[in-house]
Amino acid sequence: MELKRVVVTGLGAITPIGNTIDEYWNSLINGVSGAAMITLFDASKFKTKFGCEVKGFDPTDFLEKKEARKIDRFTQIALVASDQAVKDAGIEKDNVNTDRVGVVFASGIGGISTFQEEVINFAKGDGTPRFNPFFIPKMILDIAAGQISMRHGFRGPNFAVVSACASSTNAMMESFNLLRLGLADVILTGGAESVIIEAGVGGFNAMKALSERNDDPQTASRPYDKDRDGFVIGEGAGLIVLEELEHAKARGANIYCELIGCGATADAHHITAPHPEGLGAKNVMTAALTDARMKPEDIDYINTHGTSTPLGDVAEVKAIVDVFGEHAYKLNISSTKSMTGHCLGAAGVIEAIACIKSVVHDIVPPTINHFTDDPELDPRLNFTFQKAQQRTVRAALSNTFGFGGHNACVIVKKFK
């Protein structure tokens, strides 16, 4: 069976550095930090008092007030990103078969703010079980996929994927496979996350996962810097319209690039820490290259997982050098989490969008907030520190790794 080709025809994003694709991309290439003191709740007693929040977002600008109250914030931003992507792709009910348009959408945690609110309300009461009838439908992490399909009338494959911080990359992978097997014509895929609440920040603080650089939040996300002290928690949503090539051509769609390969592996090592030699990361990049039928020399840019954690950054860099050999020193590498923070289950798609735009515009976004070289990292590598770099980007690879040892990777290339 000959596999079908899959292309990208639409994009949408709500991020800490921009609430449209253009705003997001312009912020990326200009090195804008999205970190600031938390406003979504009173974080004064928490070890970490800052994060990368989505700014200036009012769901009632896009949704009816009654509708907005029935859905969690992660679903609100997912729906708005879907509106952007559907419009960008030029999808209308008369140019697609809605029975063959699917939604595969991810979240690492889902409606945790709804869960927290309902449990607190119950605990404050007299023990009588009084819960909001929308409690469960707001909380479950598959509901964003369902809401997107209902909003746009898409009746194709519809489900959610969860693999912690690798979730939305795994969602793209599942969508890619459905399309190249001919099981759908179009799939909206991506992820959303919104966990900047007491339970989210407090939970990650307890794990000692978050940066505590409260005196300088804008520079706290420091991938590959010697003094990095943890990731900066972020929120956001990204959505990519994937489409079978001949279907896209038949309806005259604008094609950004081609999704050419993907991979998924496990570290089988530790619940939160990466394999110290980057074994899972090495295997997932190798798997994606094999799937794409590409050589290491075909890749020009890697958007790394690069969370700004002491162990994670070192392990991933080791894996890159192992996989790419001498070509590693000709690559551009960058971590856009230095600007967006770590958007958890939405990180993969938000970073894949950066790769797509990089392939389209031949610009590599930077890794900002670099002050001190880390002696554990190979100084010959080009981490694209501080400023975006122009270069031909024939193909870009995006890495995402999640708690539990989940690794996922996708490769996009220029469309010909």
The residue annotated as part of the active site, out of 52, 165, 343, 355, is 165
The rounded distance, in Å, linking the Cα atoms of 8 and 359 is 12
Cα–Cα distance, 63 to 264 (Å, whole number):
36
Sign for the pseudo-dihedral over CA of 315, 317, 319, 322: negative
- Paired sense of beta strands 363-364 and 389-390, if any: antiparallel
Task: Identify whether the C-beta of residue 113 lies closer than 8 Å to the C-beta of residue 197.
Answer: yes
Q: Which residues are 15's β-sheet partners? A: 18
Least Cα distance to 195 among 270, 151, 139, 239 occurs for 139
Residue owning tokens 């404050």: 124
Q: How far apart are CA 147 and CA 153, in angstroms?
A: 10
247 is catalytic: no
Q: Give the number of other CB atoms < 10 A from CB of residue 367.
A: 29
Q: Token pair of 262, please? A: 């993907």
Return the DSSP state at 342: B
- 385/174 Cα distance (integer angstroms): 33
Residue ranges of alpha helices (H) inside 293-366 are 310-324, 337-340, 347-361
327 is catalytic: no
User: How many Å apart are CA 288 and CA 355, to the nearest integer?
Assistant: 15
Query: What distance in Å separates the CA atoms of residue 172 and residue 145, rounded to the nearest whole number?
Result: 13
Distance CA 242, CA 172 (A): 8
Which of 342, 355, 406, 409 does the annotation list as catalytic? 342
d(CA 337, CA 206): 21
342 is a catalytic site residue: yes
Q: Which of 305, 370, 406, 409 is catalytic?
A: 305
Q: Which two tokens stand for residue 68?
A: 């907005």
Catalytic residues: 165, 305, 342
